[in-house]
Amino acid sequence: MNVETKYIFVTGGVVSSLGKGIISSSLARLLLSRGYNVTIQKFDPYINIDPGTLNPYEHGECYVTVDGHEADLDLGHYERFTNIQTTRANNVTTGRVYQSVIDKERRGDYLGKTVQIIPHITDEIKRNIKSLGNTGKYDFVITEIGGTVGDIESTPFLEAVRQLKWEMGRNALSIHLTYVPYLKAAKELKTKPTQHSVKQLQAIGIQPDILVLRTEKELPASMRRKVAQFCNVSTEAVIQSLDAPTIYEVPLMMHAQGLDTQVLRLTGCDTDGEPDLTAWNTFLHKLDTAADTVTIGLVGKYVELQDAYKSISESLMQAATYCDHKLELIYIHSEKLNESNVDEKLNGMDGIIIAPGFGQRGIEGKFVALKWCREHNIPTFGICLGMQCMVIEFARNVLGYTDANSTEMDTKTSHNVIDLMEEQKSISNMGGTMRLGAYDCRLKEGSIPAEAYGKLNIRERHRHRFEFNGDYRERFENAGMHCVGENPDTGLVEVVQIPELTWFVGTQYHPEYQSTVLNPNPLFISFIKAAIKFGDSKK
């Protein structure tokens, strides 16, 4: 469809974690299903250049785009909902904005002027906001502003939004997401925080066009009217976002209340017709009606914070759904796993995932888990560090190299079966310097991944500095661990498998970054199928 590019800004108020990413993704899903071209971008007010250097405890998982950008986990939601790949341009931080302005200042681009937040920083934010729209590829650009209205660090972004709304008129729209708490003692829903949050936005000069009210209880029509009256929006533009059994229901809930119609009406687009959600509904129907359960154990060290493994848990859920099963995901703390409790912790599982990660903490628990998995022939999937652990455990317990390790954990090991990549040896800066993004991988005919993908040449995303040490390849293959996927240009080992076992596969790449609701990753499907079969065989 060809309309002038429309910009939709999504802000949040009252508290954080209201689900701006899910509302943005749901709106994108609805507009896409109406035939529009849509992209979503996220502006994060923190000063890190990107989240790549952040501990997962800070902001959850670091997502990786095809072009090798380390991004906020909301970009994972965007891709899972829209089935469209994002890039570096879809996630910008305060740090990136300042870096670019300071670089320009050093080059002398500002011709002797004093460089200031307004207009220089705000102009740079505006340039970034418009950069995807300027490609001419999109009818709608949805821009999510991280943080909450009133935060000091969000202010320049909101000022940029104010200016753009003024400049673009009907082509720009503001959606503000707030929270309506329920006070148990008074048995009442309270809209005052919403009114205050909107006032705060108005004080900045932004009049929201649509309000989305997050609530645990149904909002009565009278309350929506009241909010509309206090906040200068029409009643139809006050939309409730009730807690949903699954985030993938949210597009339907938003459509039922006309969020997409309001957006189209307010931006002067045709409101006729309905979004085609056939495939989406098929997925939801499967999710709803699955009777049996598949139980997967995820062994990792960030299990207290489940956002740290967001893409993995979503990929597993998608795969289980397509296999007509509900997913029960049990998080198993690798630091607490040892020889004496491994049997009790892993015994009830139908399949085990060994999670990605960095550093020594929790790694010995992963080896204990892997030995148990290998000896019990349970479907096992190692991802990135998980794959590297598979290699180390095999080296120690099958090849007999008792001190085998990755040089990430022990630089003095006499068997560096996992070693720093050559290209990494000269790197001293930590930010954005890993092997990142999509690379080709050639799979071995007849291997599990080759069967799963149904082809031999694939492309998956990466985020690592260490790799399988090729000097050991023959010794591993002779002892039963095969390299069944490699980079066609460099020979880097991408996938290992023990063919003697039913499903024991490790990937250096992260298949979880490429699994969406409408296009689940084939390797996860293959793993879940094996887990279901294993579970059934125990019954």
Annotated catalytic residues are: 384, 510, 512
Q: Which distant-in-sequence residues (6+ apart) come within 8 Å of 508 by Cβ? A: 384, 387, 388, 462, 464, 467, 468, 492, 493, 494, 495
Query: What minimum distance in Å lies between the beta carbon of 385 and ligand GLN?
Result: 3
> CA 475 → CA 86, 383, 421, distances in Å?
40, 22, 20
Q: Which distant-in-sequence residues (6+ apart) come within 8 Å of 135 by Cβ? A: none
What six digits make up the tokens of 340?
A: 């004496």
**What span, in angstroms and rounded, lies between the C-alpha atoms of 455 and 523?**
12
Q: Which distant-in-sequence residues (6+ apart) come within 8 Å of 238 by Cβ? A: 210, 211, 213, 224, 225, 227, 228, 231
Query: What minimum distance in Å lies between the beta carbon of 463 and ligand GLN?
Result: 5
- Is the CB of 32 or the CB of 316 nearer to ligand GLN? 316
Q: Give the other-Cβ count within 10 Å of 388's Cβ.
A: 29
Q: What is the residue whose two structure tokens read 């670089």?
A: 103
- Is the CB of 80 or the CB of 465 nearer to ligand GLN? 465
Written as one letter, the residue type at 258 is G
- Is the CB of 126 or the CB of 415 nearer to ligand GLN? 415
The 3-state DSSP composition of the chain as helix, strand, coil percent (nearest 5) reads: 45, 20, 35
DSSP string of 111-160? TTPPP-IIIIIHHHHHHHHHHTGGGT--SEEEEEEPS-TT-GGGHHHHHH
What six digits make up the tokens of 14?
A: 């009252």
- Is the CB of 280 or the CB of 513 nearer to ligand GLN? 513
Q: Give the other-Cβ count within 10 Å of 282's Cβ.
A: 12
Query: What minimum distance in Å lies between the beta carbon of 356 and ligand GLN?
Result: 3
Q: Give the other-Cβ count within 10 Å of 454's Cβ.
A: 8
Partner residues linked to 168 by β-bridges: none
Phi first, then psi, for residue 501 (nearest 5°) are -90, 160
Burial, 329: exposed, middle or buried (Cβ in 10 Å; 0-12, 13-18, 19+)? Answer: middle
- Is the CB of 76 or the CB of 146 nearer to ligand GLN? 76
Query: What minimum distance in Å lies between the beta carbon of 408 and ligand GLN?
Result: 5
- Is the CB of 351 or the CB of 357 nearer to ligand GLN? 357
**What span, in angstroms and rounded, lies between the C-alpha atoms of 250 and 485?**
38
CB 528 within 8 A of CB 320: yes
Query: What minimum distance in Å lies between the beta carbon of 426 and ligand GLN?
Result: 16
- Is the CB of 280 or the CB of 358 nearer to ligand GLN? 358
**What span, in angstroms and rounded, lies between the C-alpha atoms of 296 and 234?**
47
Query: What minimum distance in Å lies between the beta carbon of 449 and ligand GLN?
Result: 18
Query: What minimum distance in Å lies between the beta carbon of 474 and ligand GLN?
Result: 22
- Is the CB of 385 or the CB of 483 nearer to ligand GLN? 385
- Is the CB of 356 or the CB of 485 nearer to ligand GLN? 356
Write out the H or E segment, with its range, that includes residue 188: strand 188-189
Query: What minimum distance in Å lies between the beta carbon of 387 and ligand GLN?
Result: 8
**What span, in angstroms and rounded, lies between the C-alpha atoms of 355 and 366?**
9
Q: Which residues form the interface with ligand GLN (CB under 6 A)?
A: 356-358, 384-385, 408, 463-466
Query: What minimum distance in Å lies between the beta carbon of 358 and ligand GLN?
Result: 4
